[in-house]
Amino acid sequence: MKKLLLLTIVISLCAWAIPVTETRTLSGYVFSGSGNLPIEGVRVEIPGTGIITYSDKAGYYTLKIENHHSGIHFSHPGYVDQEVSIGSRTQINVTLVPVKTGTKTEIAEITDEQDKRKVMPGMPSRETMLAQPAYISGYAQDQEMIEWNTEDYSPIDENIFHDPSRKPLSTFSIDVDAASYSNVRRFISSSQLPSKDAVRIEEMINYFSYDYAQPSGDEPFSINTEAGLCPWDKNHYLVHIGLQGRIIPTENLPPSNLVFLIDVSGSMNTANKLPLLKSAFKLLIEELRAEDKVSIVVYAGAAGLVLSPTPGDQKSNIMGSLENLQAGGSTAGGQGIKLAYQTARDHFIKGGNNRLILATDGDFNVGISSNAGMEELIEGERKSGVFLTVLGFGMGNYKDSKMEILADKGNGNYAYIDNILEAKKVFVNEFGGTLFTIAKDVKIQVEFNPAFVQSYRLVGYENRKLRDEDFNDDKKDAGELGSGHTVTALYEIIPVGVDNKYQGNIDPLKYQEQKTENRGHFRGEMMTVKLRYKLPEEDQSKLTMEIIKNNITDFEKTSDNFRFSASVAAYGMILRDSEFKGSADYDQVIEWAVNSKGRDVEGYRAELIRLVESTKLLSSL
């Protein structure tokens, strides 16, 4: 018994002699002094310890510290750095002041027992903000939460009707982008209606593939046309123009030189950004072959090469480099783009597929960051022969306007990844179309016959319009078509003799010759569709054309392609509250889509129908 007592005393003395390091959790919020709004991506560190974290979308941070730690440091580009004494506190909230004010920040002193929302009256708790889809989307109904949203969309000036006797030509670049549809789906899934400028009707139509004939001969694509009655105005016609890219089997595709350009800045530090991005790229990596090679360039406050060109069959090495990426810091997008293009040029494969795949939320805030600056940068880089795929991630601070410019000016395509199934669609189901270009600078020019066409309107493509003289100018950039891709465009036609409620009152022309005969109406020709395109490695365009006769089919008797594309267009016009939506409503859109769903192997068309049903419910609230 004495021995046991002695052993207990010894153990107690030893335990007392061993220094015990006590830890605690320190947390808080970081706000902007310019508006008392949360700041995402603030670097929060305990100096000299390597303990670092970043604030999230709600401005919230948390980290483990030791009791002897005396100070905490806050930094973010554009704001004055601040170091704060910790003392015995477990919560420190900070208001950072923009650098231009030249003043130091003030610390919001809050005790553990006080309500956090006293810093910002009416602000929901962090748990509420991050748990509710409405808050995650950045479009919460709470007014103060709406102010936090910084998503940016280019304005859309909707196409109007034109008189072919005054404007006989309509010229535009094709668009295979599909980002708008998946972005709209994200809004609806978050119980929010999208802003009008987030709805690009041509991208919604082109999200879906259509059952067009494969090209014959040496042409890289086929042209498919159809004319029928317009479903939202039975006095009007609708003309459907569809391109079908040649499908190249994967085993016959040329070798790829791919550069993954990945945004790892602090703004990517949320579940629907960098973690989803990694999962998406893993799907692509599984599709790569030994003859393909991959490099990885990342950018945050600076840009760097984290994986030199690696054969596509070394999947574990590529995935390991991808998995090790962590988010933090500011966003030097321009610097990253330059390094990625340089990497692609250094390892260029002649006759191969040389492509950058940029994954970001588009929130560039260091170096070249304006839309004009990005456009100039990309236009200079595209001459290298390197193509560009842009993948958008995230919400709340999403910069759609910048992403669209990058893809448009960089010989590329643009998709928005809102979930892993969308990543599968882009990287697996549409692997060839996403990554392999079969025709570039594809332009369409339509000439209308005023003998049959009183007025016409291109549905969508507002940001893709070209000057008429651009059609024959091979120096003018236009859209790219990938292997197996389909491109669809619709024209609404007001025929001669029908009351035109959209026609303004224009005085008759005084000096123009008014022709009364039309050379036999050109044997019933309603319009001529001309296309110019270049093969991927050529600089001289080729011309092809198709004549559309004045033969109009009842809407119910048109093809599934015609009716389904019309239903998507009508859905987009309703979302935009377009003056041209005519009699279209959600019930009609659902009926048209159900009756034209056709062969829907992946279920994308069925998903549209459910999306329209959800939109109808949201619109009635």
Each domain of the chain, given as residue ranges in start order, spans 17-129, 169-248+438-501+524-619, 258-433
Same topology, domains 17-129 and 169-248+438-501+524-619? Answer is: yes
Dihedral in degrees, nearest 10, Cα atoms 145, 147, 153, 154: 160
- One DSSP character per residue, 425-473 reads IIIIITHHHHH-EEEEEEEEEEEE-TTTEEEEEEES-GGGB--GGGTT-
* Tens-digit pLDDT profile for residues 575-607: 999 999 999 999 999 999 999 999 998 999 999
263 is written with which tokens?
């945004």
CA distances from 440 to 470, 528, 531 (A): 15, 22, 12
CB neighbour list of residue 467: distance below 8 Å, 6 or more residues apart: 171
For 460, phi then psi, to 5°, come to: 80, -165
Q: Amino acid identity of 303? A: A
CB neighbour list of residue 20: distance below 8 Å, 6 or more residues apart: none
- One DSSP character per residue, 57-93 reads TTSEEEEEEETT--EEEEE-TTB--EEEE-TT-SB-E
Domain 169-248+438-501+524-619 indexed as CATH 3.40.640.10: no
What is the C-alpha end-to-end distance of the chain, expressed in Å?
A: 79
Check the CA dihedral 139-361-464-469 and report its sign.
Answer: positive
> Which H or E element spans position 593?
helix 586-595
Coil, strand, or helix at residue 358?
strand
Scanning 72-178, the segments in alpha helix (DSSP H) are 126-131, 133-136, 143-148
CB 171 within 8 A of CB 471: yes
pLDDT at residue 175, rounded to an integer: 86
CATH topology of domain 258-433: Rossmann fold (3.40.50)
How many Cα atoms within 13 Å fall on the side-chain side of residue 201?
A: 28
pLDDT at residue 16, rounded to an integer: 43
CATH of 17-129, one of 3.90.226.10, 2.60.40.1120, 3.90.550.10, 2.60.120.260: 2.60.40.1120
CB 397 within 8 A of CB 150: yes
Distance CA 374, CA 388 (A): 14
- 329 dihedral zone (left: phi>0; alpha: psi -120 to 50; beta): left
Residues of the chain with pLDDT under 70: 1-21, 33-36, 57, 99-149, 302, 331-332, 364-371, 513-522
pLDDT at residue 146, rounded to an integer: 35
pLDDT at residue 300, rounded to an integer: 83
CA distances from 483 to 202, 214, 254, 258, 259 (A): 19, 11, 12, 17, 20
Class of residue 258 by CB neighbours under 10 A (exposed 0-12, middle 13-18, buried 19+): buried
pLDDT at residue 509, rounded to an integer: 78
Distance CA 378, CA 337 (A): 8
pLDDT at residue 136, rounded to an integer: 32
**DSSP summary character for residue 553:** B
185 is written with which tokens?
């789906």
* Tens-digit pLDDT profile for residues 367-423: 555 667 777 878 777 788 898 999 999 888 788 888 888 888 878 889 999 999 999
* Tens-digit pLDDT profile for residues 517-535: 555 556 799 999 999 999 9
Question: What pTM, to 2 d.p., does this model score?
Answer: 0.75
For 20, phi then psi, to 5°, come to: -105, 125
